[in-house]
Structure 1
């Protein structure tokens, strides 16, 4: 595996965006099944940076699958509830430090992100700090936010009748379908 670290320091582990890239590559090269099982069924972990003892185990893949599934369910159920196909999303904003480093194509390939066309996905950095600054310093921006909050509709994922089925399907490392049923 080829790898790099932030600040070109010795590797200590794999960050979240690195895990997404690693799993996408393992899938792309058919070294792992969609269910997170290594192609060599006797193998329980793969050396990522052997000189540092950094590995990816089947348990690591299982843990990531569950975290990914929660994210997938949120996107899938909200899109389906409002009758919007991923390809019809005008813009998907990715916020936060993690989002700045995630490879969008890899995230879509393993089902971490809905298959929204890449040109419609926008990385906005630390939007929470910027948003807080704007509403604290601008009355008009605060009024816009207050109006927007009144339009938000809460969707309770866990009360969706097929939540468990969607979650189980989402535990696989494969893209979300473009048509949601």
Structure 2
């Protein structure tokens, strides 16, 4: 039997809240809104099999178009291969690495506020998820 417990759901909510709060905190630090995000990349074993629609519906990531979300598999290996094979790409990667800023999320005062807001499915502010809001409204109309 496959069983989902209350504790499993609690862990899912806490994990998704952490990811979403991190996204929002980093976006604020960079001065970027969700409408300015061109692409979100899911990497690694978890990201490779993550369903874009479900990730958006539960509020794991900011709501953007599904075509703007890419599952790339093992991004570290792919990046290492590119860096080893192509010198121009390696130069570009070096330039990107130089621009990276380290942000300690637990030191950011807004992170805990974002985390708390993100512990709801999909979020306490549904205006951040207009398509999910439409889907929920459609479900309510069908039931009502």
TM-score bracket for the superposition, by shorter chain length:
0.7 to 0.9
TM-score calculated relative to the size of structure 2: 0.78
Q: Map of 1:15-94 to 2, 5 A cutoff?
A: 52=1, 54-94=2-42
From 77, 102, 106, the equivalent of 2:54 is: 106
The structure whose residues are more often helix, as a share, is: 2
| Structure 2 runs not aligned, ≥5 long | 130-144
CA shift, 1:83, in A, is 2.5
CA distance in 2, matches of 1:82, 1:178: 18
Q: 3-state DSSP class of the match of 1:162? A: helix
What RMSD in Å do the two structures reach over aligned CA positions? 1.9
CA shift, 1:163, in A, is 2.0
Q: Name the residue aligned to 1:135.
A: 83
CA distance in 1, matches of 2:110, 2:78: 37
Q: Name the residue aligned to 1:116.
A: 64
Q: 3-state DSSP class of the match of 2:109? A: coil
Check conservation: 1:88, 1:116, Cα contact below 8 A: no
**Structure 1 runs of 4+ with >6 Å offset:** none
Q: Map of 1:134-153 to 2, 5 A cutoff?
A: 134-153=82-101
Which structure has the larger Rg over C-alpha atoms?
A: 1
How many residue pairs are counted as aligned between the two chains?
Answer: 127
Q: 3-state DSSP class of the match of 1:90? A: coil
Asked which structure has the greater RCO (Cα within 8 Å, sep 6+), the reply is 2
| Structure 1 runs not aligned, ≥5 long | 1-51
CA shift, 1:75, in A, is 0.5
CA distance in 1, matches of 2:117, 2:43: 26
